[in-house]
Amino acid sequence: MKITLKDGSVKEYGEAKSIYDIAKEISEGLARVACAGEVNGEIKDLRTVIDSDCELNIITATDVKALPIIRHTASHVLAEAVKRLFPNAKVTIGPAIDEGFYYDFDAEPFSREDLDKLEAEMKKIIKEGHEITRFTLPRDKAIAFMEEKGEPYKVELIKDLPEDAEISFYDQGGFVDLCAGPHLMTTKGVKAFKLTSSSMAYWRGDSNKARLQRIYGTAYNNKEELAAHLERMEDAKRRDHNKLGREMGLFTTVDVIGQGLPLFTPKGTKILMKLQRWIEDLEDNEWGYMRTKTPLMAKSDLYKLSGHWDHYKEGMFVFGDEEKDKEVYALRPMTCPFQYFVYKNSQKSYRDLPCRYSETSTLFRNEDSGEMHGLTRVRQFTITEGHLIVRPDQMVEEVKGCLALAKYCLETLGVNEDVTYHLSKWDPDNKEKYIGEPEVWEETQQHLRDIMNELQIPFVEDVGEAAFYGPKIDINARNVYGKEDTMITIQWDALIAEKFDMYYIDRNGDKIRPYIIHRTSMGCYERTLAWLIEKYAGKLPTWLCPEQVRVLPISDKYEEYANEVCRTLKKAGIDATVDSRSEKIGFKIREARLDKLPYMLVVGQQEEESKTVSVRSRFAGDEGAKTLDSFIADITEEIRTKAIRKEEQPEK
């Protein structure tokens, strides 16, 4: 057999060889740092035996592709440490993830002190340097093996494997775990790791199943990379909107009100109000949208007609029992079926289309408690929701228009470089999840693919992420911890109009089914606010700040002038306040910096006499004295243009 290596050289062998043996033959040094092999582009365990021609790349510890193998091995080391220190714990699953790894256990909750003890035990296991070996068992023996060890979750996993599946295990010095691999050759290969946190999780993500304890960790090839990662994580904690937003006094949550139901303070509400006014004026005045206002709930009949009752009922808040009550209601999880009836309120001709409806919609979704976090996933949220009813010949240009509006919103908010585009497609292997025929799905998906290619928008394709009625373009962003959320969506719908008997009259007087675009322009207000808090570490662009200017009198003697300045600022539409506390000016400046204000105006005798203000900003520090008119002209232009000033002056 011929093995073509990464550098193009070819090795010939007369017998099958493991990847590790091939690496060792190339050089002992390569074998020592090898973590896995890439065979014809697929990552394989070093123990994998090659018996036919292929292309082979030996993945070493310095290769980014080695990180999942290092982390997966670290998760097994963690599992062994847990079994040593907490023998009654039951092991479940422990995969590598983007930022590290986790392992779920059926056990009592783990404290930070427990994690520290587990880290120490993991270091012992690594130092022991056990060789990691792989073996397989037939299904019945594999089940008996795990039953004997008292690991019911592993037994369940084995039983769920296909009948013809190879059931493999990894043994590291006596600790054996069910696993498909790949893994390092010894535990000594885990050179730098850290257990970062623990939390509750559900077995297989199902809230109706066992509550488990999840331990998160991360691992890198060396201590320097680990230190850099931990520093990034510390920065993430500082930026975490769930922490920072509360510290800034923007929102809170209360147990007696409920999880996923945030309360916005006047400051937080002010930011949301500015976003809403901007979006509504933008859509209505510049992009040709018509605003609607529809109910927050409806009878189940509406959702049965739309298909949401069959495809989405588990995610809805339902009132009443279908078997007992004459009428059953549900809070709306989306606005589309309501706006369809606004469209049907009057007959439309081809000249009336496109018909662009938009609504600042409050929606309700019954999220699992384990899925909710801060403002990014909540049970009640408000969204910039719109539906465009269009002629089929208008569809492509209108989708392009929706993309242009979305990109404009992202650019204005300063986050256009932080997103990825996804073509969310149906899953042809699970046709029962969708309505419509396969040819319709393939055609509409191709339209979206062609649009993004024409606009030169890089994108990835995600199978199974489409809505039940059509494919969509999802614009996603990652939070500070690396979790990806959908911020904006644009959906192509060629099917729903028939369910609602929607039509328009064409040139010939015939009734024609329109197409529908479901879209958001900026997305969910709560999720967008969370994104902006994390993006700017709380230092929002001036136009969005709930307090844009704070006037700081040097002493009580200048409070009257400070109030006069504040009144003038407010008349100019600027959100301003006065700090009239009997505190030293240095203290007031520090407080304003901690509150992340864009501007402070210091006033004293000199400023009062000259009718000026001494300007301090978070952008350039001390900007010197200006006339009040000059400052107002500058800041109102900054607000009008929604400028994003670069932070130049570090806080002291």
Question: pLDDT tens digits for 229-250?
Answer: 999 989 999 999 999 999 999 9
Round to whole Å and give the CA distance between 343 and 647.
47
Radius of gyration for the chain, computed over Cα atoms and rounded to the nearest angstrom: 30
Q: What is the pLDDT of residue 190?
A: 94
Question: pLDDT tens digits for 307-332?
Answer: 888 888 888 999 988 777 788 999 99
Find, among 289, 641, 360, the residue nearest to 525 by Cα. Answer: 360
Question: pLDDT tens digits for 384-400?
Answer: 999 999 999 999 999 99
Q: How far is CA 349 from the centre of its chain?
A: 41
Question: pLDDT tens digits for 287-303?
Answer: 999 999 999 999 999 99
Q: How many CB atoms lie within 10 A of CB 414?
A: 16
Say if CB 322 and CB 300 are below 8 A apart.
yes
Question: Distances in Å between the alpha carbon of 393 and those of 399, 471, 497, 503, 514?
Answer: 11, 18, 16, 14, 10
What percent of the chain lies above the pLDDT cut of 90? 82
Question: pLDDT tens digits for 348-385?
Answer: 999 999 999 999 999 999 988 777 889 999 999 999 99
Question: pLDDT tens digits for 594-626?
Answer: 999 999 999 999 999 999 999 999 998 999 999
Q: What is the pLDDT of residue 46?
A: 92
Indicate if the pLDDT at residue 221 is higher than 70: yes
Which phi-psi region, left, alpha or beta, contains residue 537 (left: φ > 0; alpha: ψ -120 to 50)? Answer: left
The amino acid at 213: Q
Say if CB 183 and CB 69 are below 8 A apart.
yes
Rounded to two decimals, what is the model's pTM? 0.83
H-helix or E-strand spanning residue 460: strand 459-463
Query: Angle of helix 559-571 relative to helix 628-640, nearest 10 degrees?
Result: 40
Question: Tokens representing 220?
Answer: 């890198």
Q: What is the DSSP letter of 288?
A: -
Indicate if the pLDDT at residue 648 is higher than 80: no
Buried b (16+ CB within 10 A) or exposed e, 320-352: eeeeeeeebbbbbbbbbbbbbebbeeeebebee
Find, among 204, 492, 507, 522, the residue nearest to 383 by Cα. Answer: 522
Say if CB 15 and CB 46 are below 8 A apart.
no
Reported as a pLDDT band with limits 50, 70 and 90, residue 649 is: very low
Indicate if the pLDDT at residue 628 is higher than 90: yes
Mean pLDDT for the stretch of residues 524-528: 96
Q: How many CB atoms lie within 10 A of CB 254?
A: 10
Q: What is the pLDDT of residue 7?
A: 86
Indicate if the pLDDT at residue 284 is higher than 90: yes
Q: What is the pLDDT of residue 583?
A: 92
Which residue has 């937003």 as its token pair?
245
Mean pLDDT for the stretch of residues 130-159: 94
- Mean pLDDT computed over every residue of the chain: 93
Question: pLDDT tens digits for 475-520?
Answer: 999 998 888 899 999 999 999 999 999 999 999 999 999 999 999 9
Q: Long-range contacts made by residues 153-161, C-beta under 8 angstroms, separation at least 24?
A: 153/90, 153/91, 153/92, 153/93, 153/106, 153/203, 154/91, 154/92, 154/178, 157/93
Question: pLDDT tens digits for 425-484?
Answer: 999 988 888 888 999 999 999 999 999 999 999 999 999 999 888 999 999 999 988 888
Q: How many CB atoms lie within 10 A of CB 2?
A: 11
Indicate if the pLDDT at residue 650 is higher than 70: no
What percent of the chain lies above the pLDDT cut of 70? 99
Q: What is the pLDDT of residue 565?
A: 97
Q: What is the pLDDT of residue 163?
A: 85
Round to whole Å and give the CA distance between 364 and 374.
16
